[in-house]
Amino acid sequence: MDTTQISKPVGKPVLGIETSCDETGVALLRWEPDAPGRGLLAHTLYSQIKLHADYGGVVPELASRDHVRKLLPLVREALAQAGLAPADLGGVAYTAGPGLVGALLVGASAARAMAWALGVPAIGVHHMEGHLLAPLLEDDPPAPPFVALLVSGGHSLLVEVRAIGEYRILGDTLDDAAGEAFDKTAKLMGLPYPGGPALAKLAMQGRAGGYRFSRPMTDRPGLDFSFSGLKTQVLLAWQKSDQSEQTRADIARGFEEAIVDTLVIKCRRALEAAGARRLVIAGGVGANQRLRAELAAAGAKDGFKAYFPRLAFCTDNGAMIALAGAIRLAAGQSQDETVQVFPRWDLETLPPAA
Ligand code: KG4
Ligand code: ZN
């Protein structure tokens, strides 16, 4: 993406739009470098979960059409929440990728059209940069350098963040992402879509020590992940079991422990490799309570601090896009009027934000 330096929307609120998958998120944020969370003026979200539930997964065409229906009402709602008019905006930020092409195009076209009509700059945001900056919206925001664990439905990444916009991928998944592993495993044990939160809830009723699955790729050096084999282990265990409610909960717990343990082991290694003492966790799986508790405990033991966004900002939302966009707009970055999206987009190719 060609990013140019133009007029800076100092102090004016930025509209953030997220439409990369099955959530329409809109937020308004005024960039406040010392306490970004204080600058959050409004955020609204519409989740398409019910729309896709019958199909057991996201149907891209239905997702795009629903973004079309929901986006502008959500923008109006956010403006009303903040007591602002469109003319008060200083810029527009939207998710330009990675994600579903049709869904991305809805947000990108609406954002570009609004920015053009208002005569303000617009910027396409990398969805994963949005996720990794989300913890900055909380009190005591983490300052780079830090390591970020980005675990969502589409990604499992360990990223060294030297500065905002300066990212080095330390580890990636070779197959399923962590959230995808949660979703697929939940599905094969008959849990409803979306499986991740349902499986995590069930795991709370599971008994300790009932089932133990492997911690993939922790027996060798390296920071990559592989979660697809775990799914097969669970399938075999489930097929051989009595398939009672308690067994399902026990298996869910064994699976969750395996994923969480694996993520914790790799985070410790990544912090050591990067020489960092701050760990940022973000993405939908960052909402997982066991993961949050285990990483906080590992931090207390090893001497690093773990930073999490609030639960609503772990999963997809407009606030993280408004934040990432506001940072780049404040640095004078934006792009020309072309509507362009990037269904696949390497985080390492982003320009520095300052
Ligand atoms: O970041 P996100 O909202 O969307 C993507 O960018 O993919 O992440 C959604 C993923 C889904 O796979 C969902 O099952 C998972 O996050 N997830 C969870 C939990 N809440 C959401 N996985 C485990 N435990 C949870 N509590
Ligand atoms: Zn996401």
pLDDT 10s digits, 297-319: 999 999 999 999 999 999 999 99
Is there an atom of ligand 1 within 6 Å of 154 CB? yes
Token duo for residue 345: 């987009």
Of the residues 182, 184, 253, which should be mutated to test ligand 1's pocket, given the most ligand atoms within 8 Å of the CB? 182
Residue 350 alpha carbon to ligand 1 centre in Å: 24
Q: Determine the Cα angle at 68 with ends 178 and 73, to 5°.
A: 100
Give how far the C-alpha of residue 241 lies from the chain's centroid of Cα atoms, to the nearest Å.
35
Q: Are strands 146-151 and 122-126 parallel, antiparallel or unpaired?
A: unpaired
Residue nearest to atom 14 of ligand 1 (CA): 196
Residue nearest to atom 24 of ligand 1 (CA): 288
Residues forming CATH 3.30.420.40 domain(s) in the chain? 4-134+313-349, 144-308
pLDDT of residue 354: 80
Is there an atom of ligand 1 within 6 Å of 193 CB? no
pLDDT of residue 336: 87
| CATH level 2 (architecture), domain 144-308 | 2-Layer Sandwich (3.30)
Residues 6 or more apart whose Cβ sits within 8 Å of residue 225? 156, 171, 172, 173, 174, 178, 216, 217, 262, 263, 266
**CATH, range 4-134+313-349:** 3.30.420.40
Backbone angles phi, psi at 53, to 5 degrees: -55, -40
Q: Which portions of the chain are predicted below pLDDT 50?
A: 5-9
